[in-house]
Chains A and B, each alone.
Chain A
Amino acid sequence: MSYLTSRFETLVMGLEKKLHVPWVLSEGCCSIEIQNAQLATYDWQRLGMDDCAVEPSEAQVLIIAGWINSTRADEIKEIYSKLQKPALVMAVGACSLSGSPYKLGQTKNIICAQDIVPVDIFIPGCPPRPEALLSAVLELQRKLSPGPSSREVLSAALK
């Protein structure tokens, strides 16, 4: 049953072209979890997140993970300006959200993601589990198209 609904939504999304292309900017342990969410075990393509883009101009979603220093802040701003509009930003993990693991280690010039670009989805955790990333993708879908998703419609119909 869950298999059915899941496949159905992927099919619908593929037909409607609702897949989002991400540009992943990640360092450190969050990148491992992001890879985990991309790969077969969690497979976020089912939920509407496409494979990573080759160029920032192809992407709609910017995923920021890992510590941000001033050099990297400039890089992020540049990439954000190149994204397809409307651009969405997901900030992953404590480093990019508050810099706390690094601020404590006497590293003073750590910048928060929300100070440089408008962040749409916050994913706390150190690092967040793949489930948190997947729920973030679902939140993102809900934000873009409010109302019941095709998955919810189908599962209600099957009941």
Chain B
Amino acid sequence: MSVVKRPSQKAKWYIPGILTGLKITMKHMLFNLTHRKEMMTINYPEEKYQYSDRFKGNHILTVKKDGSLRCTACMLCATYCPAECISIIAAEHDDPAVEKFPISYEIDILRCVFCGFCEEACPVDAIRMGPEHQTAAIAGERFIYDITQLAYRPENKGGVLSKVDDEERHRRGL
């Protein structure tokens, strides 16, 4: 495609146009230099945006008071999950009051769409969406999060306590 550009009278007036643009740039620069608190840019690794408490980040498996997993392996989260990213293998617990527990709880983080349905489906507050935003990772790392990663990662500081307590329910006779 060849376009012939004819010199027009208007094109000669580019210098005022440049000056107008530079004026706006300089105005913002000076404003930012003098009002650093009100600056728009977030200097990411040092500063972080405060998301609300309801932010849906990486999953957390909650624990009981004794530190074991709260999850009863009912598989309602796996049933409800629209991305089919949760896979659970259940097993029989020695304690008849606990009865069923997961020996493997895996979330394929590459499939997960962070919709929060698992959190809603859980009858015992065993899975929550945590405050951490999705973590990028280089190739070769594990993308299938297991129990160690979901429940006992360093950010959880030894496990997040569940709100639903079996002993409490048994004492109330439920």
Contacts and interface: CB of A to CB of B under 8 A. Distances in A.
The answer to whether A and B touch directly, with their CB atoms under 8 angstroms apart, is yes
Interface of A: 1-3, 5-6, 40-43, 46-47, 94, 97-98, 100-101, 104, 114, 118-126, 128-129, 131-136, 138-139, 143, 151, 155
Interface residues of B: mostly helix, strand, loop or mixed? loop
B139 interface: yes
Contacts of A114: 139
Given A3-B36, A138-B45, A101 B83 contact: yes
Interface stretch (B11-19, B130-138, B162-170): B130-138
Contacts of A143: 138
Interface in B6-44: 36, 40-44
Contacts of B103: none
B43 A3 contact: yes
Contact of A100 (B36, B41, B113, B136): B113
B171 to A, nearest CB: 41
Contacts of B45: 134-135, 138, 151
A111 B82 CA distance: 18
Given A41-B40, A42-B42, A131 B143 contact: no
Interface residues of A: mostly helix, strand, loop or mixed? helix
B83 A132 contact: no
Contacts of A42: 41-42, 44
6 contacts: A42-B42, A42-B44, A46-B43, A94-B83, A100-B112, A155-B46
Contacts of B42: 41-42
A5 B45 CA distance: 11
Contacts of B115: 126
B135 A132 contact: yes
B36 A131 contact: no
